[in-house]
Each structure stands twice: as structure tokens, then as C-alpha cells.
Amino acid sequence: MRPRLLRGVPEETLLSELFGGPCAIEDQTSVPYSGKVELANHGTLYLADFAEAGRKVLERIDRFLADKRMVLGGGTEPVALDMRVIASSAVPVEELARRENVPPTLLKALEPGIVRIPALREHLEDVPLLLHHFLQEANRERKKPLRGFTSSALSALQTYGWPGNVRELRDLVRAVAGRKKQGTMIDATDIPPEILYRNLRRHPPQ
């Protein structure tokens, strides 16, 4: 799977990354390069937060999905590609339909495969598993492993509402792990105040 986060990237940059284009080299000539769409041929292309892209990008994606054909780097004729395309968004479908940047034809093309995933706040019992998963990822990246979470940290994080869903949880683990010394555990005192104090207001000490 080749993922691409579409949020916060200039339109022209994103179009080049997705669909390729000419690349200038030292002698001022240009050579074609492959975009992520071409590289995902015979695989899966994952468009994360697709609705945050501009209208121009989404219209180009819409045209590609119509027949999954495009001119490859260095070619002159459209070639059929074979891939699975997955597009995700935290925005409800009903709101997507009202956005000016989202072509109605794109939503119609995606509609048959829509899967609604419950927000993290609706299955907080999964929070400990996710915390340990993302901590293992952070340990591999830092090569300075932490031992885990204290019970007070787990309790605080499992009662938080996670408005940013799994991405917010992942980012929190990475940020906190980056400040801790090797071999220690993440404690409630390491949790940002906006999360910890919100929990204390909802669940005051008895």
C-alpha cells in the first residue's frame, strides 16, 4: 500500500506527487518521473484525508477513477492501471456533499464502498492496545525503548474523549516518548495538561 496524506499540500505539488511530471536536471533538460498513482499499479493507493485537498486535485482524481487510465512517465498514450484505491476522511459523508471542493461525481464513485468507522470515543476499551502499539512503533524509531505506561497514565488516557481520534493518540504517544529517558515508563505526569485536567474535571477525586 502506498499512502498519501492530502492535507496541507499545495495543489500543484500534490498533483505532481500523485500523477508525476517532468523533473529538471543539471543541464536544464527534463526527464519524466513517476507519481504515486503509477507506482501503486498492481497494489493499493491510500489517499488519507482526501477531502482536505483542493478542487483541482480532487477533479483530477475523479477523472482517473472514471477509467483508471493515465499517461505514464515518458509515454504518449493512456495506459490502464490495475489498483485498489482507498480514500479516508474524518468528515461525515453528509458534510462532504456540501463542500465546494469535493466534486459530486467523486463522492458518487466512492459511495458504493463507503465504510463508516466508529470514533475512538465509542470504543475506549481499545485505547490500551493502541497505546502499546504506538509505543512499540516509537521504540523502534527511537532505538531507546520505554517500558510502557503506568496504571495512572492508562486510566487518564482511557477516559479522554479523543476528538482527534487515533491520529491524536498516535501523535501524543510519539511526542511523550520523545521526551522520556530510555527504560522509563510513561506516567500521568507526562500527559499534557489539556488532557489530564479535562479528565480531572470529568472525574474528580472522591
The C-alpha cell of 171 is what?
501523535
The C-alpha cell of 78 is what?
493512456
pLDDT-derived band at 31, boundaries 50, 70, 90: low
pLDDT-derived band at 179, boundaries 50, 70, 90: very high
pLDDT-derived band at 191, boundaries 50, 70, 90: very high
What is the reported pLDDT for 200? 45
Does residue 201 carry a pLDDT above 60? no
Looking at residues 184-199, what average pLDDT do you find? 86
Could you give the residue ranges of the DSSP H alpha helices within the chain?
A: 11-19, 36-39, 55-67, 93-96, 104-110, 127-142, 151-158, 165-177, 193-202
pLDDT-derived band at 23, boundaries 50, 70, 90: low
- What angle is formed at CA 9 by the lines to CA 58 and CA 109, rounded to 5 degrees? 20
Q: Kindly report the average pLDDT of the chain as a whole number.
A: 86
Please give the share of the chain, as a percent, with pLDDT higher than 90.
54
Looking at residues 28-57, what average pLDDT do you find? 85
Looking at residues 190-197, what average pLDDT do you find? 85
Looking at residues 196-202, what average pLDDT do you find? 58
The C-alpha cell of 62 is what?
475523479
- pLDDT tens digits for 151-175? 999 999 998 999 888 989 999 999 9
Does residue 195 carry a pLDDT above 70? yes
- pLDDT tens digits for 83-113? 999 999 888 889 999 999 999 999 999 988 8
pTM here is: 0.67
What is the reported pLDDT for 189? 94
What is the reported pLDDT for 30? 56
DSSP string, 73-130: TT-SSEEE---EEEE--SS-HHHHTT-TTS-HHHHHHHGGG--PPPPGGG-GGGHHHH
- What angle is formed at CA 139 by the lines to CA 138 and CA 140, rounded to 5 degrees? 90
191 by DSSP, 3-state: which?
A: coil
Q: Could you tell me how far CA 123 lies from the centroid of its own chain?
A: 20
Closest to 49 measured CA to CA, from 107, 91, 104, 93: 91
Does residue 79 carry a pLDDT above 80? yes
